[in-house]
Amino acid sequence: MRTLKTILVIASLILLSCERSEFSTDLIGKWYIFGSGGGFFGQGASYKFDYLSLETDYDYDCSRNDTIIESGTYKLFPNSSDIFQGEYTIIFNPKQRIKGGVPQISDKEMIVDLLAADTLILCDGITDGFCYYFVKE
């Protein structure tokens, strides 16, 4: 009986880790930002980049007009926000910034919401925060 319980626990952990790694794998790629929303009046936020690229080795870069304006590493954590539904929280760790980089997303924790394999939303984890909308290239 004890062996059966151990096997069930191990199988559950494997299934959970597969689900998370699949989600993480779906995040990998080049994402085009096409808009933002939220804020006190719903006007959205300004952003100074065109693309967010997430790599398998947890490196990222943001570019504008084919020029990298910020690069660094990122980490994914299980989402603990009571405000937004999202499986993960992403934290960016900028290593290099040119012309100010992209502090809109890299200076705070963002909630990750992957609506489909080609649609990504990153949201501030606060009420009246901003959300940034991306489509996969």
User: In the block, which residue shows the tokens 């924790």?
Assistant: 109
* Cβ-proximal residues to 102 (8 Å cutoff; 6+ apart), any chain: 47, 48, 49, 62, 69, 70
According to the model, what pLDDT value does residue 23 have?
53
- Number of domain units in the chain: 1
Task: Read off the amino acid at residue 33.
Answer: I
CA-CA distance, 61 to 54, in Å (whole number)?
A: 7
Q: What is the pLDDT of residue 6?
A: 39
> What pLDDT score does 52 carry?
96
Which of 16, 1, 63, 42 shows the shortest CA–CA distance to 130? Answer: 42
**Other Cβ atoms within 10 Å of 51 Cβ, number:** 17
Q: Which two tokens stand for residue 85?
A: 């539904």
pLDDT of res. 62: 95
Expressed as residue numbers, the domain containing 61 is: 2-136
Give me the pLDDT at residue 86, please: 74
What pLDDT does 72 receive?
96
pLDDT of 5 reads 45
> So what's the pLDDT on residue 15?
37
Tell me the torsion sign for CA atoms 78, 80, 85, 90. Answer: negative
Q: In a structure prediction context, what are the per-residue pLDDT tens digits for the chain, which is 137 residues long?
A: 555 443 433 433 333 343 444 556 788 999 999 998 887 766 777 788 999 999 999 999 999 999 999 999 999 988 876 766 777 889 999 999 998 888 888 888 888 887 788 999 998 877 778 889 999 99
- Per-residue b/e over 60-84, b at no fewer than 16 CB within 10 Å? bbbbbeeeebbbbebebeebeeeeb
Read off the CATH number of the domain in which 122 is found. 2.40.128
The confidence score (pLDDT) of residue 84 equals: 66
Burial class (CB in 10 A: 0-12, 13-18, 19+), 20: middle
